[in-house]
Structure 1
Amino acid sequence: MPTGYFSDIYTKELPHRAKTVYMYLKDRSDKNGQCYPAIGTIARELHLSRRTVERAINDLICAGLLKKEQRWRENGGRSSLLYTLVDSN
């Protein structure tokens, strides 16, 4: 069994797109496992389509590895999505 920073994700039965996006989010998350990059930013930096990133995020949510929450501005407008990585241990 692999050991290291991404050892949990290596053993999961997930499409490679989901593993790639998970690693991206983990690399950019804070000590609480949270980050809020835009879909377009993720897609651009990973050289994936926006739709592929959306599918990967859905894969991770369905696998119980990620939570997604809409953030709101003080004026009631939508802000970026907050992604929280869920500890799989």
Structure 2
Amino acid sequence: MGYFASLYASELPHRAVAVYMYLRDRADRDGKCYPAIGTIAAELKLSRSTVKRAIADLEKSGYLRKEQRWRENGGKSSCMYFLK
């Protein structure tokens, strides 16, 4: 069935599948990427809340890990996502 076989066979909602595929498409060889929630929402035509719920679903299921990134001045930047 291919690369996403376990994802398709999972009990994840369609929002989580869409967000995972988006992140996988933008990830580097190591499975890391850092798009902003707003960017993901705009490009997938989903609300920011839906994207946040999808990311929480993916974290809970073990498909990704997120880590907050910080700017030099101490402000928050976009999260770094590590895909598994």
State the TM-score, normalized to the length of structure 1: 0.88
Name the structure with the higher helix share. Answer: 2
State the TM-score, normalized to the length of structure 2: 0.93
Q: Which residue of 2 aligns with 1:70?
A: 68
Q: Which amino acid aligns with 2:54?
A: A
Identity across aligned pairs (percent)?
67
State how 1:22-61 maps to structure 2 within 5 Å: 22-61=20-59
> What's the offset of the Cα at 1:73?
2.0
* Matched positions, count: 84
In 2, Cα distance between equivalents of 1:69 and 1:42: 16
Q: Which residue of 2 aligns with 1:11?
A: 9
Q: Which amino acid aligns with 2:49?
A: R
> What's the offset of the Cα at 1:39?
0.4
Name the structure with the higher strand share. Answer: 1
> What's the offset of the Cα at 1:31?
0.4
> What's the offset of the Cα at 1:75?
2.8
Structure 2: give runs of 5+ residues left out of the alignment.
Answer: none
Q: Deviations over 1:4-30 (max 9, x none)?
A: 232221111110000010000001100
Deviates more, 1:32-41 or 1:3-12: 3-12
Q: Which amino acid aligns with 1:5?
A: Y
Quote the RMSD (CA, aligned, Å). Answer: 1.0
> What's the offset of the Cα at 1:72?
1.5
**Of 63, 82, 85, which aligns to 2:83?**
85
